[in-house]
Structure 1
């Protein structure tokens, strides 16, 4: 009997040990248990990383506040400085540096393209110093060649500030044969500059040619140049055109020859300046 009791106790102990081991195997090696363990590890890692990041950001803020570090801006454009000279306009700079007038205005926070002053430092975006030096030499050379008209109204030209340079050059050497405004019951949109056929016609300022060809509206052979910000100049009645539509031109560039084409009576150059499509008196915008 005692043997049977001992055997029974042994069997019960063995069964209990076996059941415990089977439970342990199922728990520690089941997918759910593995997921739970991994999840716990991931959460612990995330919490540790958060603590490290918070400490790092706190140190960065303190360093920035104490000016110990500087954070460079990747959006800053390279800017070069150009000193404004007599005769310069934003449209000339736009043409010379091959950038939009609006880009120059934005870089310098200008409220108007007419704000330039002689000696003023202008920032030119995305242009290196070597290009600036080259343009400065070109503008000095063109200023020496710029034509003038002796018959220009002294009062109208003198009324503009001597330091203001939002004006371009005379397109032709000659005398004014007809002014801006009412003429014989009609409105004359520009000025006529009398000159022999074949006389050089120069670009008032730098810009892009938006039209070059024959005009059926009476202008004859016509060149229209856009200088940006709504400013355009017209050169009419030419005998020969030297630029094509789409070309970029510089101030003082020879663009056409004086003629007597279209609705014209005598050899001359009809010159207009338009702002946003409206004709304005050219004498207010000429040297």
Structure 2
């Protein structure tokens, strides 16, 4: 599957260089985000469900819609297995980090989640208070993300930042996270910022990737199913389309690892905490109001 994707690398590079952030972000980082995450993860999960390869939506008690999954720790090496996206919305901004699960990420929204969990766990007494306080921190975290989004959007478009509240503290915060760099009085955005105008390009990459993936699974799905016929969930009569949600994450994770090794997409450096990931933000056209 990865080799088939590489056959179209010229087309992918051409499309990647049309997104707005291509004037300041390396194309391999854009490919890592758009092919590795937007397409192989987010879009293909929808397409594979539509084509009945997997199932992510199942009515559960309380009229909720989800699939339960769990498992014991295995010996699988998760280093450079690029299959995990962490996302949080704040107004018209979505903050994402994508990479392996080899360690904690110093990015957004990850550090907000880590802070909320750490603070709530160290509050003694009423467990309801811990939960309430964690929820309050989450609300203020959205405000922080929204302010960071405004600042990054302005810097990415050479916009005005003087009117942004607490800009000095935010600039220092984003420098510490390496979302921006500073040279003299000038700031440069160091992470991809995807704008609404990029949506058509992203859609083309999604569809091109999904076609390759679906062709691969049309030929190999039965072989994969037979190879996994003795794993515990299958022996316990869990429908294979539910099992395949996790299987697909492993498949595209290894696919991304191979594509990174081939130089097609970014291979993030290992942090001191062993994680490898790339952060970015996506700006939506509009915000749905309740």
Normalised by the length of structure 1, the TM-score is 0.23
Q: Please say which structure displays the higher CA radius of gyration.
A: 1
User: Greater share of helix residues, 1 or 2?
Assistant: 2
User: Greater share of strand residues, 1 or 2?
Assistant: 1
Q: Which has the higher contact order (CA 8 A, sep 6+)?
A: 2
